Amino acid sequence: MKVGAGIYDVTGQVAEIGFMGYAVPKQRGRGLLQRMRSRAFIIGDVTRKENRVVYVSVDNGMGFQIVKTEVAERLNKTFAGLYNDKNVLMSGTHTHSTPGGTGGTALVDITTFGFVKENWEACVNGIVQSVIRAHENLQLGLIKFNTGDVDDANINRSPASYLNNPDKDKYPFNTDHFMNLLRFESLDGKTLFGMMNFYPVHAVSLNNTNLLVAGDNKGYASYLFEKDYNPKGTLPGQGKFVAAFGQSNEGDVSPNTMGPKCIDTGLPCDFAHSTCDGRTEKCIAFGPGNNMYESNTIIGHKQYQAAKNLFENATLYFEKNSIVDFRHIYIDMQVRQTTFFLFSLSNSFIHSFVRLFVLVS
């Protein structure tokens, strides 16, 4: 098979711009902690050129449809249909410290006071350029695989809700600890192209008081890994070796491993409702460090170290003559039939919803 990897900057504005993630209007950028990157990987069939898949992990809050649509359109024109909306998969790392205004809908862009074309363009162009670089780096290669546990790097932020799962006793933890990793290398194993892994943890080590653009714990892990496997002295984002720390089933999975406490008393929050004296605002979870930046480093390093161990011991998964193919469908959800259930809402949920409704109105 053919494999290729590419990386490109997607940072956008870093000052006086609202962030995407926490929906806090006063969280507006005042500088840069780490540049945002798009990391693209192409896997292609040797015998059938049209059978290629593209995976892009981008340092962004989400992989918005308005971004994906434009990326696919530009790639389709550049490569005469070789890469399009059907074989390009785009995933955000879900960092909450990235420039916002790129979603194109009122719900996600309201706290940035609307759509910000400059940030959208930086994101779109960076993703396209990373795919172009991956295409230019395509060559015959192998893919190796490994999987393992990453412990003490995530917790469940809704443990009371998890207890309602009927199959909870089948699993040792209330969060997934698995990291799945792919290693890309040349046929002779002498040249390493890149690495992608999937591990579930929210990129929220940096909380909503952070005003510096950053890739959070996953961005930091990528930085460490690329520093290790690119030639000494290579500037960040400029090396041929690309390392993506992608998201997986991160739902209620938090990096704030010290858990939630009431900031006014230091006591644990109410277990069932995540409140302090009936209020949600004072129930805040903290990471393992003395401050959010140290916590970001710790959680990022745990992912980096686990990935490095898996990478060095990965075994052959896809051989050079493996077949590559893809499937893609659209489903019109407006005509889908489903079953719904009535359920009661907690006071804290209703309070949060009312606040959102007032803000939107």
Active site residues: 254
Nearest Cα neighbor of 55 from 324, 358, 335 is 324
* Helix 216-229 with 292-312: angle, nearest 10 deg: 50
Q: Are 10 and 38 within 8 A, CB to CB?
A: yes
Cα distance between residue 40 and residue 131, in whole Å: 5
User: Is residue 248 classed exposed, middle or buried when 0-12, 13-18 and 19+ CB atoms within 10 A define those classes?
Assistant: middle
Helix (H) or strand (E) holding 347: helix 347-360
Chain centre to alpha carbon of residue 183: 19
CA separation for the pair 162, 156 (Å, rounded): 8
| CA 203 – CA 1 distance, rounded (Å) | 33
- Helix/strand/coil percent split, the chain, to 5: 30, 25, 45
DSSP 209: T
Give 161's contacts (C-beta < 8 A, 6+ positions apart): 252
Give CA–CA dist 286/205, Å, rounded. Answer: 8
Please measure the distance between the N-terminal and C-terminal CA atoms of the chain and give it in whole angstroms.
53
Number of Cβ within 10 Å of residue 62's Cβ equals 19
Identify whether the C-beta of residue 9 lies closer than 8 Å to the C-beta of residue 237.
yes
Residues 39/7, Cβ–Cβ less than 8 Å: yes
